[in-house]
Amino acid sequence: LQPHQPFQIIVRYTTADGPAIWWLDPELTYGNAKPFVFTQGHSVCNRSFFPCFDTPAVKCTYSATVKAPAGIQVLMSATQSSYLEEEGVYQFYMEYPVPAYLVALVAGDLIHADIGPRSRVWAEPCLLPTAISKLSGIVERWLTAAESLYGPYIWGRYDIVFLPPSFPIVAMENPCLTFIISSILESDEFLIIDVIHEVAHSWFGNAVTNATWEEMWLSEGLATYAQRRITTETYGAAFTCLETAFRLDALHRQMKLLGEDNPVSKLQVKLEPGVNPSNLMNLFTYEKGYCFVYYLSQLCGDPRHFDSFLRAYIEKYKFTSVVAQDLLDSFLNFFPELKEQCVESKAGLEFERWLNATGPPLAEPDLSQGSSLTRPVETLFKLWTTEPLDSVAAASSVDLTKWRTFQTVLFLDRLLDGSPLPHEVIKKLSECYSSQLDSMNAEIRIRWLQIVVRNDYYPDLYKVRRFLENQMSRMYTIPLYEDLCTGTLKSFALEIFYQTQNQLHPNLRKTIQQILSQGLNPLPAIDTTAVTTDTPAMVLEDKVSEATNGAISLRDVNVSA
């Protein structure tokens, strides 16, 4: 064989059960009609799906042939597809090089509707009208805003498929076909942020990828920065600052629980042999990474100058994988005046310190443009937590139904941080807000129910039961089970679990069993014959919850990939 001469290798293989492939019986779908399957490759699961160089440093094109029964729609993260109906065979081709973790497949009872000139939504028939009503027309608006900031969208189509609640994370940026959990459809503001974050990954993460899992912030920090630039362009600075304040609150909560000297708080985390890279994925990857990128943008004076740099960065490195030094060298070369000022060595804010110091971000963004939305939250929180409790009348006059979702969850998260609260406070809170909160989305309701559990407020416990009886997703079950088992309500949790276990995916069932088993004799045997290996996202959540005795809410780490 001559050097650099192309050659072909054919590998014939059969996959067994593995962490990348999730098989769902019809009962675990919304329609309860047909089986469903999806894959989740991030970060190193796709090696159980197909033979590959399972590292973000290696990119390649791919093609696939998939045969499926009649009535089952198959989709993949590919730029081209075709279907031979008489043979039941789908053909897919991804013409641009991607890392292995971005190869994705989903198949089930899915139908679609166009929501823009280059976008459609796919969902089970019973969910499609809701998906259309939430996203019709606005995805193109987000894509156009992103293109104005960072250059052309290079993947052709931007489609979205809504998956059953067993999907183990909130969303995944598979090129051409974002995967997103259907449970988020009821929470409009979270849906907006999650989809825009995945749109941003089309540039940061998919086009230009971190070459090593030790520098995931190169994808997630940049995508979070781009997401917030897009939301500022489309929804204004106040909304963006509110969402950022909510996330930074969560970052500091995680920091407090894990400790400021915890090595996972570094942007450049050391990946030890045998450690699953997804164990390193946390809010520091997103929010500390975002803060560093925001700091770089501030060095430029005008964020539009930084947008210009990022356009050049994408153009230079698209379809390749990079390390942090590539980004930082490009930044300094693009702004020679900053290089002359030695900004990379500024005392206390050295680039090296940003990358390798543990603890909180070295600098955080100015969020004063969001004060019109955050100040009412701070005021109401003080009314409820300042002794003596003389301001109930003023506090009870606040109508939370008029607030934005991110205002309400920021308020409830701060009450959660202060729990357990005095009994008089929790009683008055319930009298003032419980009925209002009942009609709100799940992101709000779960936080109120966690407050109920952490304060052992028995009059509202029936709402916890009702919520868990109707939830099948990790993000709306695990936080409550953890809180129930941390306090005095473990028997209550066991009772609910035994009543609802059959509606849960075996992987989720297994995780809840582990939570319930902590500090108890082994639980009675439960049929878990279908249990497969936990996905990385699940392993991450288990590790974090164990490290903090359940004190950290999993929604704080179970963010969009």
Contact 246, 413 (CB under 8 A): yes
pLDDT-based confidence at residue 394 (cuts at 50, 70, 90): confident
pLDDT at 470 over 60: yes
**Total Cβ atoms within 10 A of residue 167:** 28
Amino acid at 301: G
The 10s digit of each residue's pLDDT in 25-36 is 999 999 999 999
SS3 172: strand
Main-chain dihedrals φ then ψ at residue 166, nearest 5 degrees: -75, -15
Q: Name the residue among 442, 435, 506, 507 with its Cα closest to residue 470.
A: 442
Task: Report d(CA 190, CA 176) in Å as an integer.
Answer: 21
Annotation says 546 is catalytic: no
Nearest to 349 by CA among 302, 276, 298: 298
- Position 373 scores a pLDDT of 98
Per the annotation, does 272 bind a ligand?
no
Distances (CA, A) of 189 to 223, 240, 428: 18, 11, 28
Q: Judge whether residue 305 has pLDDT over 80.
A: yes
- Residue 554 pLDDT greater than 70, yes or no: no
| Count of residues making up the chain | 561
Choosing from 62, 286, 295, 481, the catalytic residue is: 286
Share of the chain above pLDDT 70, in %: 92
Name the least confident of 12-26, 64-78, 180-194, 368-382.
12-26
What is the residue type of 403? W
- Is residue 532 predicted with pLDDT exceeding 50? no
The string over 109-125, giving b where at least 16 C-beta atoms fall within 10 Å of a residue's C-beta and e elsewhere, is: bbebeebbebbbbbbbe
Lowest mean pLDDT of 213-227, 307-321, 381-395, 459-473, name the range: 381-395
Is the predicted pLDDT of residue 519 greater than 70, yes or no?
no
Buried b (16+ CB within 10 A) or exposed e, 528-543: eeebbebbbbbbbbbb
Q: Is residue 197 marked as binding? A: yes
Residue with tokens 């969402």: 243
- CA 129 – CA 480 distance, rounded (Å): 30
Are the C-beta atoms of 163 and 142 separated by less than 8 Å?
no
pLDDT at 6: 86
Q: What is the pLDDT of residue 261?
A: 95
| pLDDT for the residue 4 | 84
Token pair of 334, please? 């693009």
How many CA atoms, within 13 angstroms, populate the side-chain half-sphere of residue 324?
21
286 is catalytic: yes
Percentage of residues of the chain with pLDDT beyond 90: 86
How does 504-525 read in b/e, with b if 16+ C-beta sit within 10 Å? Answer: bbbbbbbbbbebbeeeeeeeee
Cα separation, 436 vs 333, whole angstroms: 54
Q: Which residue among 173, 198, 287, 482 is the active-site one?
A: 198
Beta strands in 32-190 (DSSP E): 36-39, 59-67, 73-76, 80-84, 89-99, 105-108, 111-116, 119-123, 159-163, 171-172, 177-181
Among 269-283, 286-300, 459-473, name the one with the lowest average pLDDT: 269-283
Q: What is the pLDDT of residues 485-509, one digit of tens each?
A: 998 899 999 999 999 999 999 999 9
Which pTM value belongs to this model? 0.92
Q: Is 220 annotated as a binding residue?
A: yes
Per-residue model confidence (pLDDT) at position 1: 62
Query: What was the pLDDT predicted at 280?
Result: 84
Beta bridge partners of 91: 65, 82
Confidence tier at 76 by pLDDT (50, 70, 90): very high
How confident is the model at residue 3, as a pLDDT? Answer: 81
> Helix axis angle, 490-500 relative to 461-469, nearest 10°?
30
The pLDDT-based confidence of 550 (bands split at 50, 70, 90) is: very low
How would residue 527 be classed by pLDDT, with cut points 50, 70 and 90?
A: very low
Backbone angles phi, psi at 113, to 5 degrees: -150, 140
Of 4 and 98, the one with more pLDDT? 98
Average pLDDT of the chain?
A: 91
Tokens of 238: 């106040």
pLDDT value at position 545?
32
Confidence of residue 556 (pLDDT cuts 50, 70, 90): very low
Between 549 and 68, whose confidence is greater?
68
Q: Distance between CA 541 and CA 548 in Å, rounded?
A: 11
Q: What is the pLDDT of residues 85-131, one digit of tens each?
A: 999 999 999 999 999 999 999 999 999 999 999 999 999 999 999 99
Instruction: Please tell us whether the domain made up of 369-517 is placed in CATH 2.40.340.10.
Output: no
Query: Average pLDDT for residues 217-242, to the nearest whole number?
Result: 98
**Per-residue pLDDT, 542:** 30
Distance between CA atoms of 113 and 67, rounded to whole angstroms? 23
